[in-house]
């Protein structure tokens, strides 16, 4: 009998079972986060009031197929994959999409407003899609957790998708007026719901977004915390949780 066989026989069965369980859990986790869902947390207020800083959500990797940024592998697939996507499915106006800003190497989350072939222009905060103003009606003012008040509006896309957008600076902001553009093939126009606090496709630092940079579609908030307590003040932790935002389904918002 070989020494390796003796070693195996000497290993308690509960140790082998635990090793198998840990390995199986690792394989499931890698499969889950690579091909199905990836956790993502909200770092800025650009998607208020739909998403808040401290929200943690699941992003579906399969919604638009798989590309360079949809697979979180330890190697850069760019030279091999380029801008190709496998099993690509066209997103819809209003989708909340996580994507990569290749210019800055930063991950963004924004709402898709215009598809390839659409024309778009922002004039005095109103978005004109294919020559028609996107319907916007006043909504009750929104006050954030720091006490800042925002003017709120319900915006409704031609498909019937409605969501709330915020304005803070009226129509004076440089992002409230853009040139008329036609969206090229494979490119998309993204905007944050917090219009005066969002660097998005209106801003040259981002511009139009190529489909190859999509990571996935925001699906569900699974956890949310204000995160404004001192880490040493552990007793304050329960009071920082936003329990009303746990497991919130985001699909009704697009």
> What are the catalytic residues?
46, 110
For 36, the 3-state DSSP assignment is: helix
Q: Which two tokens stand for residue 14?
A: 């509960």
Instruction: Tell me the HSE value of 17 on the side-chain side, using a 13 A CA sphere.
Output: 3
Nearest residue to 88 (alpha-carbon basis) of 103, 73, 70, 106: 70
The Cα angle at residue 136 between residues 134 and 138, in degrees rounded to 5: 175
For residue 59 the two structure tokens come to 């992003």
DSSP bridge pairs for 210: 187
SS3 state of residue 104: coil
Q: What is the DSSP string of 217-248?
A: EEEEEEEEB---S-TT-GGGHHHHB-GGGTTE
Q: Name the phi and psi angles at 162, rounded to 5.
A: -120, 150
Nearest residue to 189 via CA among 119, 112, 93, 88: 112
**CA distance linking residue 170 with residue 151, whole number of Å:** 9
């Amino acid at each position: 009998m070989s020494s390796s066989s003796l070693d195996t026989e000497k290993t308690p069965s509960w140790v082998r079972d635990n090793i198998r369980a840990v390995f199986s859990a690792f394989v499931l986790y890698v499969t889950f986060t690579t091909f199905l869902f990836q956790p993502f947390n909200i770092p800025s207020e650009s998607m208020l009031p739909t998403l808040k800083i401290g929200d943690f959500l699941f992003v579906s990797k399969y919604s638009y197929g798989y590309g360079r940024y949809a697979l979180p592998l330890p190697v850069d697939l760019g030279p091999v994959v380029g801008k190709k996507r496998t099993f690509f499915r066209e997103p819809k106006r209003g989708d909340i999409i996580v994507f990569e800003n290749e210019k800055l190497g930063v991950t963004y989350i924004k709402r898709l407003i215009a598809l390839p072939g659409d024309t778009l222009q922002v004039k005095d905060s109103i978005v004109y899609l294919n020559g028609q103003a996107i319907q916007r009606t006043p909504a009750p003012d929104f006050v954030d957790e720091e006490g800042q008040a925002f003017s709120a509006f319900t915006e409704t896309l031609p498909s019937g998708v409605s969501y709330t957008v915020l304005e803070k600076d009226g129509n004076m902001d440089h992002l409230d007026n853009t040139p008329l553009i036609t969206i090229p093939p494979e490119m998309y126009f993204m905007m944050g719901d917090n219009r005066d606090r969002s660097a998005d496709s209106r801003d040259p630092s981002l511009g139009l977004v190529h489909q190859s940079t999509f990571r996935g579609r925001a699906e569900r908030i699974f956890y949310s915390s204000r995160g404004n307590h001192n880490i040493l003040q552990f007793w304050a932790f329960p009071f920082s949780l936003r329990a009303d935002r746990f497991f919130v389904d985001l699909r009704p918002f697009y």
